[in-house]
Structure 1
């Protein structure tokens, strides 16, 4: 008999949670980092995570799923596949989120935005703003992991597979910096400059 897929077990098995001193894309520092690419590199786990997120939104009519590059690309594809709709991704060009590669949304299309990990919600909110500016109707936002502790800018329903609380600090208040622990910048996004 096939064992039921369990997200907590899969996150541990694939080494998603990293320990150290990390500079997040928000500009904040953290002792832990969620590298969901470690989970999504395994097609069976990616498929299961996509189906689980899709199940959170089956009560909504969705025409297209959109994820921000780079973290949202694989999971957005798997959610779209589970819902039987098409998948697009937005990417940055000169620091601005855009639909490229011939991707388009029609006015009034119902969009689900999907991300791997939401901390501040900044990247996915940029995608939402982009799509709404094109006339799309963003009906929800989904993610594998919710690190936001309820502090997102979202005005549409947000549903995640797993909330996780990981402490983070502004750089000037970081106890790891105070100890002289070297900081690492994981992920693909340049941290937000604090001016």
Structure 2
């Protein structure tokens, strides 16, 4: 599994899902590394590999249904659902204002265990917003599987709200893999490490959207 993850990290870099530079993030923040999994929808083999690795992460968790955080994680949740034959539901960005007026699309029952799928966790806000909606609709949520944990406080915020996060990569692990593969320099690793330490989020930030760039 370790070798597969290393190969996956390099593939993500090579297709542009990981980019470097002094990038403007949300709310005017700057970041030295950009992680955008939306491009993966154009690379089916990589999308399948991510879904399979997320399935492995979730193999020790009991769940009845899947839900991807909109929008970047939806393709991974869909592939996981097809691969495992476990039903999926979708959270809308906003409540449907006509007909059924649903916030969740799909079929589910109250008290089912829902595993949440996310691409990146930074402050934890986007994932927690989805978790709160699922809980309001009567589902039980205790775990989430994600691709990247940026180590900037989001996982701690989620844990404090009863959600344990399991990630394919931490930011530290990811940049070290890319350095060892010759994709980035040691200097870049140091810059990213410093950024992680300097840009930390807490409970007051947890409703900020995690969607990259950040």
Q: Identify whether the pair has TM-score above 0.5, normalized to the shorter chain.
A: yes
With over 3 angstroms needed to count, the CA separation of the structure-2 counterparts of 1:116 and 1:190, relative to structure 1, is closer
Q: Say if 1:88 and 1:103, in contact at 8 Å, map to a contact too.
A: yes
Equivalent position SS for 2:92: strand
Give yes or no for the alignment of 1:160 onto 2:167: yes
How far did residue 68 of structure 1 move? 1.8
Cα deviation, residue 29, structure 1 = 2.6
2:137 aligned partner: 134
Distance 2:108 2:143 in 1: 16
Task: Report 1:7-156 matches (<5 A).
Answer: 7-25=8-26, 28-93=29-94, 99-100=103-104, 102-152=105-155, 153-154=157-158, 155-156=162-163
Q: Alpha carbons of 1:27 and 1:85: their partners in 2 closer, same or farther (altered >3 Å)?
A: farther
Structure 2 CA distance for aligned equivalents of residues 40 and 129 of structure 1: 27
In structure 2, the CA distance between the partners of 1:108 and 1:115, relative to structure 1 (3 Å rule), is same
What is the deviation of 1:4?
5.2
Give the unaligned 5+ runs of structure 1. 171-186
Query: How many residue pairs end up in the alignment?
Result: 169
Kept in 2, the 8 Å contact 1:120–1:148? The answer is no
Q: 1:88 to 1:24 in 2, by over 3 A?
A: farther
Aligned residue for 2:109, secondary structure, equals coil
Q: CA RMSD in A?
A: 3.0
The runs of 5 or more residues in structure 2 that have no matched partner are: 96-101, 173-191, 200-208
Q: Which has the higher strand share?
A: 1
What residue number does 2:206 align with?
A: none
Describe the SS at the equivalent of 1:106: coil
Q: In 2 relative to 1, CA 164–189 (structure 1 residues): closer, same or farther, beyond 3 Å?
A: closer
Q: Structure 1 residues 130 and 45 mapped into 2: Cα distance closer, same or farther (>3 Å)?
A: same
- Point out the structure with the larger helix share: 2
